């Protein structure tokens, strides 16, 4: 903190105060903000503006009786220039600088829709420098093209150029902020359970799965119903795989009752199985992978517990976008969900604008 204060003092030592009446012809070294309560807050005069005679009245109405003119050397850098250098260095794939800096702040926006990923360790290292900063949305947030995902700025009005160069060097080669594109899945779905298979109750799972897939640009390419029989469930999954499904989903039968055999069916088919997540609702979630014998690539298999039928948001909503972004999900990824993985079960669900999964 003392270092920041000292830099602030050095910056102020470069400031030349010019009475407003004598400011005509000088170049404004900082933005001047106008605030009209309930109507407008924004830039009235931008950095670099040459003060004209007709500007004196508006500036006076903004409460300005003098202006600050900065006398910078080649070793100094203004906050706007610093913010733009930082923003450019922070951008990874799928992120871009959004517009010009404003009051020393530069925004980063998604250049495509997808899943936001943040290198939290590198971000912390940058913010530990103290004279520069960056604030972002949470990693693993679904974002739309053009959405602001981060903001960065210099803390002092004027920095030493070497400080910004050090920050840019720290970020070099790292994907601090990126947006991963989601593939559009062709999902094969097996709804398990004797009661559904025999028609004793109406299936409530398929509409939920379809809605969530379509919200991410995917589709259900094939759908089967199966009794609580591990071999029949396995056979249905194989049929969907042979039909070209690039994502397999099996619903129900994920608990510990004797007739909950879905996970055993998946175990007899797949590899790298991870059963159980540190999130509520959705603890009895399963992720596995299978390599088709005649096809390239690896197909994920998701075992969805019954809670996804009646809870609007579950671990399925947290993991599906990451699967579609190409992430390999295993024990570590499911265990990390424990911090923030407790749904508040609000009367009116506002997910994803809530702490669940963050």
Q: Which fold has domain 186-338?
A: Molybdenum Cofactor Biosythetic Enzyme; Chain A (3.40.980)
At 50 the pLDDT is 79
Q: What is the pLDDT of residues 35-61, one digit of tens each?
A: 888 888 888 887 767 789 999 999 999
Distance CA 212, CA 260 (A): 24
Q: For position 11, what pLDDT does the model report?
A: 47
For residue 14, pLDDT over 70 is answered with no
User: Given this model, what pLDDT does residue 4 score?
Assistant: 47
Question: Which range scores top for mean pLDDT: 32-46, 90-104, 299-313, 320-334?
Answer: 320-334
pLDDT for the residue 36: 87
Q: Quote the Cα angle for 329-240-289, to 5°.
A: 20
Task: Report whether 356 contacts 341 (CB < 8 A).
Answer: yes
Q: Kind and range of the H or E element at 5?
A: helix 2-13
Residue ranges of the chain assigned to CATH 3.40.980.10: 186-338
- Average per-residue pLDDT for the chain: 90
Instruction: Work out the average pLDDT over 206-210.
Output: 95
Section 217-237 average pLDDT: 96
Residue 5, pLDDT above cutoff 60: no
Q: Which pLDDT band holds residue 102 (cuts at 50, 70, 90)?
A: confident
> What residue spans in the chain does CATH classification 3.90.1170.30 cover?
76-180
CATH 3.90.105.10 positions along the chain are 10-70
**Structure-derived torsion over alpha carbons of residues 132, 137, 143, 146, reported in degrees to the nearest 10:** -30
CATH classification for the domain delimited by 76-180, as one of 3.40.30.10, 3.40.710.10, 3.40.50.10860, 3.90.1170.30 = 3.90.1170.30
Expressed in angstroms, the distance from the first to the final Cα of the chain is: 29
pLDDT tier for residue 109 given thresholds of 50, 70 and 90: very high
Evaluate if residue 197 carries a pLDDT over 80.
no
Residue 308's pLDDT band (cuts 50, 70, 90): confident
Positive/negative CA dihedral, 140, 141, 142, 147? negative
Q: What are the angstrom distances between the C-alpha of 251 and each of 266, 302, 312, 330?
A: 11, 8, 15, 19
Do the Cβ atoms of 127 and 109 come closer than 8 Å? no
CATH number, domain 10-70, options 3.20.20.150, 3.40.309.10, 3.90.105.10, 3.40.50.10800: 3.90.105.10
């Amino acid at each position: 903190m003392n270092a920041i204060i000292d830099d602030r003092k050095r910056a102020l030592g470069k400031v030349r105060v010019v009475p407003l009446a004598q400011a005509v012809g000088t170049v404004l070294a900082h933005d001047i903000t106008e605030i009209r309560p309930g109507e407008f807050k924004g830039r009235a005069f931008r950095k670099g503006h040459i003060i004209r005679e007709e500007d004196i009245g508006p500036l006076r109405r903004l409460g300005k009786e003098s202006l600050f003119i900065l006398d910078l050397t080649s070793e100094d850098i203004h906050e706007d220039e610093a913010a733009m250098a930082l923003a450019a260095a922070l951008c990874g794939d799928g992120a871009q600088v959004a517009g010009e800096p404003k009051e020393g702040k530069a925004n980063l926006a998604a250049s495509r829709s997808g899943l936001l990923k943040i290198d939290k360790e590198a971000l912390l290292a940058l913010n530990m420098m103290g004279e520069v900063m960056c604030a972002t949305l949470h990693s693993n947030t679904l974002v739309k093209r053009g959405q602001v995902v981060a903001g960065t700025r210099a803390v002092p009005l004027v920095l030493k150029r070497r400080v910004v160069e050090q920050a840019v060097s720290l970020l070099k080669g790292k994907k601090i902020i990126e947006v991963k594109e989601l593939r559009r899945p062709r999902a094969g779905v097996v709804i398990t359970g004797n009661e559904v298979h025999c028609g004793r109750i109406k299936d409530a799972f398929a509409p939920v799965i379809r809605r969530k897939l379509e919200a991410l640009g995917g589709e259900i390419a094939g759908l089967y119903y199966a009794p609580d029989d591990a071999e029949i469930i396995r056979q249905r999954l194989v049929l969907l795989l042979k039909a070209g499904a690039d994502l397999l989903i099996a619903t129900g039968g994920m608990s510990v009752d004797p007739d909950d055999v879905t996970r055993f069916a998946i175990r007899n088919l797949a590899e790298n199985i991870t059963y159980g997540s540190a999130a509520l609702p959705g603890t009895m979630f399963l992720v596995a992978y299978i390599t088709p014998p005649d096809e390239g690539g690896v197909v994920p298999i998701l075992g969805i517990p019954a809670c996804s039928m009646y809870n609007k948001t579950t671990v399925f909503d947290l993991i599906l976008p990451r699967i579609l972004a190409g992430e390999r999900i295993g024990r570590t990824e499911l265990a990390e969900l424990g911090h923030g993985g407790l749904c508040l079960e609000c009367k009116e669900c506002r997910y994803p604008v809530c702490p669940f999964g963050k």
